A and B are shown apart, each in its own frame.
Chain A
Amino acid sequence: MWGKIRNWLDIRIGLSELVQTKLIDYRVPKNINIFYTLGFIAVIAYVVEAVTGILLLVYYIPHPDHAFRSVQDIMTKVPYGWLFREMHAVGSNLMITVILLHMIVVFLMGNYKQPRELTWLGGGLSLFFVIIFGLSGYLLPWTQLSYWSTTVVTSMPTAFPLIGEPIARILRGGDHVTATTLSRFFALHVAILPPIFLALIGVHLFLINRIGISATPFGMVDEEKRPLSEFKRKTHPDGYQYYPHFFRKQMYMVMAYFAVMFFFITFMPSLFFTEEANIPADPFRTPPEIRPAWYLLAPYQFLKLIPNKFFGISLQAVLIIVFLFWPFLDTHKEKNILKRPVLRGFFLFLLALWVIFMFWGRTS
């Protein structure tokens, strides 16, 4: 039966040739490690988010009078609704973690350097859009946590003169977070962001395929030090076959991803649902301790420390721009960060600062 289907497809689309050229003949560097699978894990994480999100969409009602109730019905009445919601919520946090790790690894290995500047930019923008995904999805359950976190986050643009207020008003659809905000965030979450994100991922994958996988700089002669005068696709003729060698690596990392996800769902089901996440939104009562999601805690704490909000936000905007365009700023030929003590020190300093601010924001 399987043979017949394969033969049928082979005649029509040349399946065997496709598998041979794209999977078996496609070579990856010999020193490729499991950290190279993080990008693939991020794509799988997005697929999980999309599938569970569509299932939640069947029962969710984007209206302040029904949103909270519909989410509670998903948790208690819809068969296995709790599983899809937990997978969606835990998965979104894991997805951000995976993308962050992916970018850290790419940075440490110097794989953002020419000719891969655009690949880095595409990845950085994807992270930016994933965070907006998280922010817009945060409001949808219409809980005290979601309402007040959104209120705080949508207040941030008001730090900018002239354009700040209009931006905040456009985001909220008024002076406060209301039914209009919920509609806007819902549209953003389910209709506007997915095609943008998919397009970015498409461009990112195209560039990886077109430019070729970069070899890690550790213990290997890096031929990319050549001057970039013409396009040359990086290939690894003496490398391993993508299938089955690297594919198996990717698959066991996917299994590890799901194992971690179900570890959180089993042992820490309320890790991302604090007490305020189980109370319906009340615009007239601010909870005593309201904080944004963990991935925004560091910038939030940073803003709290700087009394001049405009300066605080501008500085962060500059940092984001520097982060996105870093490959264009760092024109040093050396890829190996172990041979660049200043950059390594600066990176570790920023990473430590981010972690400290995150925990500080959580406890203060």
Chain B
Amino acid sequence: MKYHVLALMIFLFPLMATAGYKEEFEKEFLTKTWAGQQVEENLCIACHSSDTMKPEFRAITEAWQASWHAQNNISCENCHGGDPKDASLSMSPHRGFVGSPQPKEVPEFCGKCHIGILSHFMESGHGKALAASRKAPNCVTCHGSHNIQRASIEIINEQLCTKCHTYERAKVMKQALFLTEKKFSELDKRLQALKREGIYADQEEKSLFNIQAEFRTLFHTVDVSLVKERTDGVTVKLDQLDKDIKAMFQELNFRKNFSAFLMLAFSGMGIILFVLSREHED
């Protein structure tokens, strides 16, 4: 026993000693990322979050990091262009850098990705007003610029709309959207519940996203009658999706019942064998 303990101590002490004194190794090791995340080099973020930047510029990266864009891997260069991997060309127009757009340029700027919304917005009262005056609302007036959050019906509110006009028309639009938006929200919650139960309903999620995107582009026309007219078509699609989701929940119920049956069957057999075993012992 003594020899074993001695052998153990001989093994332990060099480890402790190495751990305590080899500071160089420690520094090298501790500076490495423990998790080893594959971080793409982004010079925009590196510069804008450095101490040399003014606080208002530093705030841009912080706002973006909390945004829906950041959660969906939409980075600086996707909107502003430039090369985030090359310091000398990061803000070069040759690499498509456009910097901050003028108010009138904002719809085109966002519309590079949000194509459907761009055309509807430009035809709307908001879009026409913007074409006439730089003071008219553009995308960032309602959605913000860097801290953009996932859009919802809540974005139509008295506080925001009354910055420019009365709330009456916006309220009518919100009422027209309300039931369909509520249905979107319900279906989304049920899809999330399915995901928690282990069902990855990506086709249904994509389908919901597409219907929602199609419906929301309509809102940007600010045309209540058009929204009401198209709502029936959207409702039919949502009802079909609702049926598909219900079928998935039924399948989950079947699974629960089936495994519950197996659990009871094995429990029953176990009890019988236990009683037989007891009888034999007696």
Contact = CB atoms under 8 A, between A and B. Distances in A.
B267 A259 contact: yes
A244 B277 CA distance: 8
Interface string B1-40: 1001100100110011011101001100110101111111
B124 to A, nearest CB: 35
B280 interface: yes
A278 interface: yes
B37 A245 contact: no
Given A284-B38, A309-B29, A258 B280 contact: no
Given A255-B267, A263-B263, A75 B1 contact: no
Interface stretch (B136-144, B213-221, B268-276): B268-276
A180 interface: no
A148 interface: yes
A177 to B, nearest CB: 8
A167 B32 CA distance: 16
Contact of B198 (A75, A161, A175, A252): A75
B19 A278 contact: no
Interface in B193-226: 195-200, 202
Interface in A303-360: 307-311, 314-315, 318, 322, 328-331
A126 B148 CA distance: 52
B256 interface: yes
B276 A248 contact: yes
Contact of B200 (A75, A253, A256, A315): A75
Nearest to B276: A248
B133 to A, nearest CB: 41
B4 A155 contact: no
B8 A158 contact: no
Interface residues of A, number: 56
B280 A331 contact: no
Contact of B281 (A82, A159, A245, A266): A245
Interface in B232-279: 255-256, 258-260, 262-263, 266-267, 269-271, 273-274, 276-277
Max chain A C-beta neighbours (<10 A), residue from B36, B39, B40, B202: B36
A193 interface: no
Contacts of B202: 72
A20 interface: no
Given A311-B16, A322-B8, A265 B37 contact: no
A255 B35 contact: no
Interface of A: 72, 75-76, 82-83, 86, 148, 151-152, 154-155, 158-159, 161, 175-177, 244-245, 248-249, 251-253, 255-256, 258-259, 262-263, 265-266, 269-270, 273, 275, 277-278, 283-286, 290, 307-311, 314-315, 318, 322, 328-331
22 contacts: A72-B202, A75-B199, A75-B200, A151-B37, A155-B34, A159-B29, A176-B38, A255-B269, A255-B273, A258-B263, A262-B262, A263-B263, A265-B263, A277-B198, A283-B38, A290-B35, A309-B29, A309-B34, A318-B8, A318-B11, A329-B1, A329-B4
Given A259-B267, A311-B20, 5 more contacts: A72-B202, A255-B266, A284-B40, A309-B34, A310-B25
